[in-house]
Chain A
Amino acid sequence: MSPPAGKAPAGREPADDMEYADPGLARERTELAWTRTAVSFAALGAAILKYRPLIGLPVLVLSAVVWRLGRLPVPARAGRTRDRRPLLITMTTVGVSLVALALSFLGPGIGPLR
């Protein structure tokens, strides 16, 4: 049985007292974490946008996608244990890293719109 609100599961210490007092906070904190991640993508997109608008713009759009991913309604998810969103975030980060690596060698000011 799931522990009643305000009580930690048997044999486990409460991860966060406030969460056990108000269990809905866990979800809210997680949504805020998704928002912070989206802001991080936006910051990276904005940094690239200054020198490479054609590459920076898609990264900015990605930040909106990440924000939306964090707010997907539960029924739309394939179940928390088969959650594909972390894989999606990882693949996106790896892709963006490779783009950043290429850009670091091309240098600023060679962008198609400059």
Chain B
Amino acid sequence: MTDHPGGDDSPVTSESGDGTEPDARYTFANERTFLAWSRTSLALVVGGLAIAQLLPPFPGIPWGRHLIGTPLILLGCAVSVISYLEWKASQRALRHGQPLPRSRLPQILAIAIAVIGLIAAALALLSAVGVP
């Protein structure tokens, strides 16, 4: 199969030791999904760094910025690693003609962002009422 999908009618099944070569369009789609998650992880890292470095300190809670920024950076790191593992698993499934594995990333991201949001809200309230 050529790199250009549908560019010729050569067999999709260029056999190798690890399954068969999938349709290039699915491979490209898998690659784009991985890249989209990579951008998400970079955005999380930038957000975490901006909060830790640029946000004015919470009154009475000097470590407050790190409580929000550090988990965001770590989450970005985790999203990057998990997205790679999922890209690899999807690629393997495509090669073997199996159903694509279910992605856990949306769930992980939603829960983590919700928890960090709650922490940020709690910090804002605590600093507003002047609790040390």
Contact = CB atoms under 8 A, between A and B. Distances in A.
B77 A98 contact: yes
B12 interface: yes
A27 B4 contact: yes
Chain B binding surface, main DSSP class: helix
Contacts of B98: none
Given A16-B25, A97-B41, A100-B45, 14 more contacts: A16-B29, A23-B7, A26-B28, A33-B35, A43-B46, A44-B45, A79-B16, A80-B24, A86-B87, A89-B84, A93-B80, A94-B80, A101-B77, A103-B53
Interface of A: 1-5, 9, 15-16, 19-20, 23-24, 26-27, 29-30, 33-34, 36-37, 40-41, 43-44, 47-48, 51, 74, 79-81, 83, 86-87, 89-90, 93-94, 96-98, 100-101, 103-105, 107-108
Interface of B: 1, 3-12, 16, 18-19, 21, 23-29, 31-32, 34-36, 38-39, 41-43, 45-46, 48-50, 52-54, 66, 69-70, 73-74, 76-77, 80-81, 83-84, 87-88, 91, 95
